Chains A and B, each alone.
Chain A
Amino acid sequence: MDNDLVLVIVVVTALAFDFTNGFHDTANVVATGISTRAIPPRTAVLGAALLNFVGAFISLEVAATVAKGIVQADFITPTIVFAGLIGAIAWNLITWWYGLPSSSSHALIGGVVGAALVAEGTKALISGGLVGKVIVPALIAPTLAFVVAALSILCAYWIIGRLRPGSVNRGFRRGQIVSGGLLALAHGTNDAQKTMGIITLALIANGNISENNFHVPTWVVFSAATAIALGTYLGGWRIIRTLGTRIIKMDPAQGFAAQGAGATVILASSHFGYPLSTTHTISGAIMGAGAAKRLSAVRWGVAGNIVTAWVLTLPAAGAIGGITYGITRIFGTGALGPVIVSIVAIGLVAAIFGQRFRPAAPPPIPGIGEASS
């Protein structure tokens, strides 16, 4: 009974994480299209949400990697998965608060690895999977996206460089509707699968699914797709500014090249089961599209902040996941620890959102209480 209650908490928490993943990553998908005025913001966000939902049904390779390839399912309990999820959600909210586009995927993997390490030590980890499926692809993906986007935009400029900008920009804005759609589809494919993988891992840990008869239940696919789509629809306006205008100021051709590069790298990686960061990948593509035109076009200071967030994500989410596991164990091995941690976490999140979305003070009346300019 206790285990089933923990499992229910894990599923709800995983779907909440999936929601925050969509909320956090909306910007990755729509920022370039909005900043080049290829598509109105509300249409872009609605379209991205729908395509995120569809994308979640395309493949299950990444879900299999997350469920079977990073931690030893034999040593994992639903409470470890729960603690990892809390680590990931907490890190997502911290980076969202500061407007940093860090990786939700690495937060999730870091959180679960941290909780598993505290609970069972290194024997719970599949170090080969962690290095081969997560860390090395994490280094390659943004670099590859950078190079692909740079080569793409150089080819595009070589072909259309002497044409009238008005006509060219109109053409690439139309193209961005397709490339942005592909990026949303790719995002749904890779990111929703991580939640599917985590829920499936919890189901294996709880004995609901045999490790030898691995499959992702349909209800898991459908609920993960719905959660990420809802999160995408409701979130991310704060980070859109960072990705869309603060890294570089893009023209529509650069936006097309960046979105195309990001989408192809994510889709190709998803095909081989690599749970990579869509945030890293699209940020790399945006920088590549900017740097190919003019190195100084990229605001390297902002890019540096993003890199810092990337480097911190795995250890920080891991530390929070480990600490959360330690706290739950104070209350024993049953459901009491996860229940208490969930209540505290919900209270903290409500307080954070309450402060963030407080109604703004009315604008000052000119001439009263401030100098007019």
Chain B
Amino acid sequence: MIVATVVDWEALADVVVASLVAAVGVTIAFSLAIYGATRLADVRREQHRTTEIVAFALLSAVGLAATATAVVLGLFVMLSK
């Protein structure tokens, strides 16, 4: 009962949500970047169609951009307080 009143549960919930969204989001974005880059190398070597090459290149670029944006945004939030 005492614990319930002295703990700022709202702030702790923010920590939980921010950590989950940021870490899992960045891992997904970076994994997609790696997936795109690896598949791009495969389809280039196997001389697939241009649409596949473009699609995997785009996936890799978007994944990397999302990762970089999330990192910069996280640091910006830290510095803004």
Residues in A with CB closer than 8 Å to B75 are 58, 185
How many A-B Cβ pairs are below 8 Å?
Answer: 128
Residues in B with CB closer than 8 Å to A147 are 20
A16: Cβ under 8 A from any B Cβ: no
Give a binary string over A119-153; 1 marks a CB under 8 Å from any B CB, 0 the rest: 00000000111011000110010001101110111
B34: Cβ under 8 A from any A Cβ: yes
- Set B14, B31, B41, B67: member contacting A268, Cβ < 8 A: B14
Given A136-B12, A268-B15, A269-B15, the answer on whether A160 and B78 have CB atoms closer than 8 Å is no
- Set B34, B41, B71, B81: member contacting A178, Cβ < 8 A: B71
A256: Cβ under 8 A from any B Cβ: yes
Residues in B with CB closer than 8 Å to A271 are 15, 18, 77-78, 81
Given A149-B23, A260-B26, the answer on whether A131 and B3 have CB atoms closer than 8 Å is yes
Residues in B with CB closer than 8 Å to A172 are 30, 34
Whether B27 contacts A256 by the Cβ 8 Å rule is yes
- Interface residues of A, Cβ cutoff 8 Å to B: 58-59, 61, 127-129, 131-132, 136-137, 140, 144-145, 147-149, 151-153, 155-156, 159-160, 163-164, 167-168, 171-172, 175, 178, 182, 185, 189, 253, 256-257, 260-261, 263-265, 267-272, 274
Residues in A with CB closer than 8 Å to B8 are 132, 272
- The complex places the Cα of A147 from the Cα of B15 at a distance, in Å, of 13
Q: Chain A nearest CB: distance from B59 CB in Å?
A: 11
- The complex places the Cα of A269 from the Cα of B8 at a distance, in Å, of 12
Whether B24 contacts A155 by the Cβ 8 Å rule is yes
Q: Chain A nearest CB: distance from B67 CB in Å?
A: 8
- Interface residues of B, Cβ cutoff 8 Å to A: 2-3, 5-8, 11-12, 14-16, 18-20, 22-24, 26-28, 30-35, 37-39, 41, 67, 71, 74-75, 77-79, 81
Residues in A with CB closer than 8 Å to B77 are 271
Given A153-B27, A267-B78, the answer on whether A131 and B34 have CB atoms closer than 8 Å is no
Q: Chain A nearest CB: distance from B64 CB in Å?
A: 10
Whether A160 contacts B31 by the Cβ 8 Å rule is yes
Residues in A with CB closer than 8 Å to B37 are 167, 171
- The complex places the Cα of A162 from the Cα of B78 at a distance, in Å, of 37
- The complex places the Cα of A140 from the Cα of B15 at a distance, in Å, of 10
Whether A163 contacts B11 by the Cβ 8 Å rule is no
- The complex places the Cα of A127 from the Cα of B41 at a distance, in Å, of 59
- The complex places the Cα of A172 from the Cα of B71 at a distance, in Å, of 16
Whether A140 contacts B31 by the Cβ 8 Å rule is no
Residues in A with CB closer than 8 Å to B31 are 155-156, 159-160, 253
Whether B6 contacts A132 by the Cβ 8 Å rule is yes
Q: Chain B nearest CB: distance from A173 CB in Å?
A: 11
Q: Chain B nearest CB: distance from A76 CB in Å?
A: 20
User: Which residue from chain A places its CB closest to the CB of B10 in the assembled complex?
Assistant: A272
Given A152-B24, A268-B19, the answer on whether A182 and B35 have CB atoms closer than 8 Å is no
Residues in B with CB closer than 8 Å to A267 are 74, 78
Whether B38 contacts A136 by the Cβ 8 Å rule is no
Given A127-B6, A274-B15, the answer on whether A189 and B71 have CB atoms closer than 8 Å is no
Most chain A beta-carbon neighbours within 10 Å: one of B3, B24, B35, B67: B24
- The complex places the Cα of A144 from the Cα of B24 at a distance, in Å, of 12
- The complex places the Cα of A264 from the Cα of B74 at a distance, in Å, of 8
28 CB-based A-B contacts, threshold 8 Å? A131-B2, A131-B6, A136-B3, A136-B12, A137-B15, A140-B16, A144-B16, A144-B19, A151-B20, A152-B23, A155-B27, A160-B31, A160-B38, A163-B35, A163-B39, A167-B34, A167-B41, A172-B30, A175-B67, A178-B71, A256-B30, A264-B22, A265-B19, A270-B78, A271-B15, A271-B77, A271-B81, A272-B15
- Set B3, B5, B14: member contacting A272, Cβ < 8 A: B14
Residues in A with CB closer than 8 Å to B15 are 137, 140, 144, 265, 268-269, 271-272, 274
Given A171-B33, A272-B15, the answer on whether A260 and B28 have CB atoms closer than 8 Å is no
